[in-house]
A = this chain, B = another copy of it.
C-alpha cells in the first residue's frame, strides 16, 4: 500500500508526514533570499495530507480560505509571508453538491477554467497526488476574458490516506474536496520593467571582456 511504502522511505532526504520540524509562523525569521518554494510532492505529502488528517503542519504558512468567494485581485496574496512575488498558497475545501459533484469554480465576476490534462505528482515511483492548472477568466463561460491569474490546484491521491484515519464513507469525497492551491499573477514583460528602462548614460561601463 502506498502509505506504508512512503513510511518505509524515511531514510530518504525528504521527510514525510509528521517527521518534520516544529515551527511557528511568527518565530520564522528567514535570511534574505529564502522563501516558501515547495516541491509538488512536499506540498501534497507534508502539507495537504497533514491538513486532511488534522495533524500538525511543518509551518503555519498556508491559510484556509473559501477560494471562490474571491475574485483573484481580492485574494490576500500580499499577506502571504515569505512567498515569491505575486504568489500565494491557500487550502480550499470545494463545495460538494450530492447530485452534481463538486461545485463549479465560479467567483463573483468570473471563473477558473482548467487548461490541459492533470499532471501526476510522483514521490519516487508512487503517484502521491495530481496537479491541475487553471486560468482565471472574467465574465461567464464561454465568453470570458482571459486574465493573467493562474492557479495550480493540488489534490492528494486518495489511496495515500490511511483507511482508519477517516470515516470510510466520506473518505473519497473528503479527499476530493480538500485541495491546496498556488495562485500566481503572471506579470507581462511591461509590468516587470520600470518606465523606459533604457541604460543610463551615467552608469560606468563594465570593462570589455573577450567573447565566448
Contact = CB atoms under 8 A, between A and B. Distances in A.
Interface in A24-81: 28-39, 42-43, 46-47, 58-59, 61
A141 interface: yes
* Main SS at interface, chain A: loop
A206 B155 contact: yes
A131 interface: no
Given A101-B207, A159-B203, A20 B31 contact: yes
A82 B34 contact: yes
B33 A207 contact: no
Interface of A: 14-15, 20-21, 23, 28-39, 42-43, 46-47, 58-59, 61, 82, 84-85, 100-106, 111-114, 120, 122, 124-125, 127, 130, 141, 155, 157-159, 172-173, 175-176, 193-195, 197, 199-200, 202-204, 206-212
Given A31-B59, A34-B37, A127-B203, A104 B194 contact: no
B37 A33 contact: yes
A32 B21 contact: yes
A137 to B, nearest CB: 10
